[in-house]
Amino acid sequence: MLTSATLLGSSSGRNAGDAALISGIMDAVDRRIATPLRYEIPTVRPSYIRENYPNQTVPISMMPWSGSVKMLGFPTLRSILRTDITLIFDAILFDRSLYNPLFNFMSSLYLMLPYARKRGKRMACYNVGAGPVNTPTGRRMLRELMELMDFITVRDRDSYDILREIGVQNPRMLVAADAALNAPASDRDHARQVLQKLGLPADEEILGININAYIDTWAGPAVTPMGRERFLSVYAAALNRVLEELNVPVLFVCTQHLDVSITRDLMSRVRGKKPMALITNREHNHCDVKAVLSRLALLFGMRLHCMILSAAEHTPVVGLAYQPKNRHFFNTLELAESSMGFEEFGEDALCRHLLRGWEQRASLRKHLDRVIPLLQRKALHGAELVAALHQGEDMDQACRRVADAS
């Protein structure tokens, strides 16, 4: 029987997508088990965890004065040893800057979880994204971590293939979907009020724009980073051409504090005849952001969870992939052609991509009406397997049962 869980992932309180993931996981598990768990969540922002969730949360400080270097430290380790199960979530299983615990959490997991496993602690991967892992050491670390898990649910087929390709043999691995698909949203009336306060009309179609301060630095070894100035210059020129043709209001959306500065810079370069506004997760929590995204006619996004939160509300999305995980999501949506990469980046290509998305927005919404409910059900696989552990079910049998039902 489970009474408590440690959630290990990105939980800074600065990213609305990560906040939605945490919410989606806790809500799904609590509903399935029917008895709320106590969730210990290592974080650099304890106040955010305390104030933004109705669940039973206990923030665990990852600040230096608590004896931590981000996730790596005694507070996190003690939490892992204290709770009944540790759930790894989000996309922290990559090997970039592998030995820097300020940036990379996988090496921290590699130091702590084997010890906890020897102490008999349960652990699982809950709807994770895997990769990129490009180094022999990173691949070995990830493979060995996955073999420790009581079960693994991944959020897309590409992540499943990556884990099998690096040699993961764990038989209790299933393809699920992203937990944020089931995150709650504020009601539509509140979303309308937010848009009105931002000065956007409630009776017109609105184009959403979301960019990422990382630009193309994660796009792969074949891509030479273009730098902020060239990115903004090309993007603004393309967006100005699109707005000249469409003449629609624009909502710029930031779901990560890091992106506010570059988004304001882009806004200063855009000329539109209709109103423009900015919404950020500095002023609004993930529930509000998700609700506002439901009011858009189309989102052109870069941040993965900005697009996931939009799609969850059946808002049409097209993307610019700054990481492989973005393409993985569009593959999951069966909309691979709706994502473009930085190898195609240019004013004409951006303009064509965005205008094509706008022209297809009705058919994209209809497609999401069919696909999203299916993915939302798959996103509950992780909660079903946590419940199986809670009830003492044989996990090999439980994984087969969940796989057969999907």
Q: What is the pLDDT of residue 193?
A: 94
Query: What pLDDT is attached to residue 221?
Result: 62
Residues 6+ apart with CB under 8 A from 154: 125, 127, 128, 129, 130, 160, 163, 173, 174, 175, 176
Per-residue pLDDT of 53-79, as tens digits, reads 999 999 999 999 999 999 999 999 999
Give the model confidence (pLDDT) of 296-316 as tens digits: 999 999 999 999 999 999 999
Q: Which of 140, 42, 130 is nearest to 86 (CA)?
A: 42
Q: What pLDDT score does 222 carry?
A: 63
Q: How confident is the model at residue 220 (pLDDT cuts 50, 70, 90)?
A: low
Phi, psi for residue 85 in degrees, rounded to 5: -155, 145
pLDDT of 218: 77
The 10s digit of each residue's pLDDT in 26-35 is 999 999 999 9
CA angle 352/354/355 to nearest 5° reads 65
Q: What is the pLDDT of residue 406?
A: 80
Q: Residue 329 pLDDT more than 80?
A: yes
Q: Which CATH architecture has domain 4-176+380-405?
A: 3-Layer(aba) Sandwich (3.40)
Mean pLDDT, rounded, for 312-331: 96
List, by residue range, all CATH 3.40.50.11930 domains of the chain.
4-176+380-405
Position 45 scores a pLDDT of 93
Bond before 132 cis per omega within 30 degrees:
yes
Is the confidence at residue 194, as pLDDT, over 90? yes
**Which strands make up the sheet holding 276-280, listed edge to edge?**
276-280, 250-254, 207-209, 298-301, 317-321, 339-341
| Phi, psi torsion values for 128, nearest 5 degrees | -85, 160
| pLDDT average, residue stretch 170-179 | 98
Residues 113-119: contacts with CB under 8 Å, at least 24 apart? 113/80, 113/86, 113/145, 113/148, 114/144, 114/148, 115/77, 116/77, 116/80, 116/81, 116/86, 117/148, 119/81
Q: Is the pLDDT of residue 264 over 90?
A: yes
Task: Give the model confidence (pLDDT) of 379-394 as tens digits.
Answer: 999 999 999 999 999 9
pLDDT of the residue at 202: 82
User: Which residues, listed in sequence order, are joined to residue 44 by a DSSP beta bridge?
Assistant: none
Q: What is the mean pLDDT of the chain?
A: 96
Return the percentage of the chain with pLDDT > 70, whole number.
Answer: 99
Q: Does pLDDT of 219 surpass 80?
A: no
Confidence of residue 224 (pLDDT cuts 50, 70, 90): confident
CATH 3.40.50.2000 range(s) for the chain read 188-373
Region 354-376 average pLDDT: 98
Q: Binning pLDDT at 50, 70 and 90, where does residue 223 land?
A: low
pLDDT band per the 50, 70, 90 thresholds, residue 405: confident
Would the pLDDT of 118 be above 90?
A: yes
Record: fold of 188-373: Rossmann fold (3.40.50)
Of 158, 151, 157, give the one whose Cα is nearest residue 173: 151
Average pLDDT for 205-232: 88
pLDDT band at 201 (very low <50, low <70, confident <90, very high): very high
Assess whether pLDDT exceeds 90 at residue 15: yes
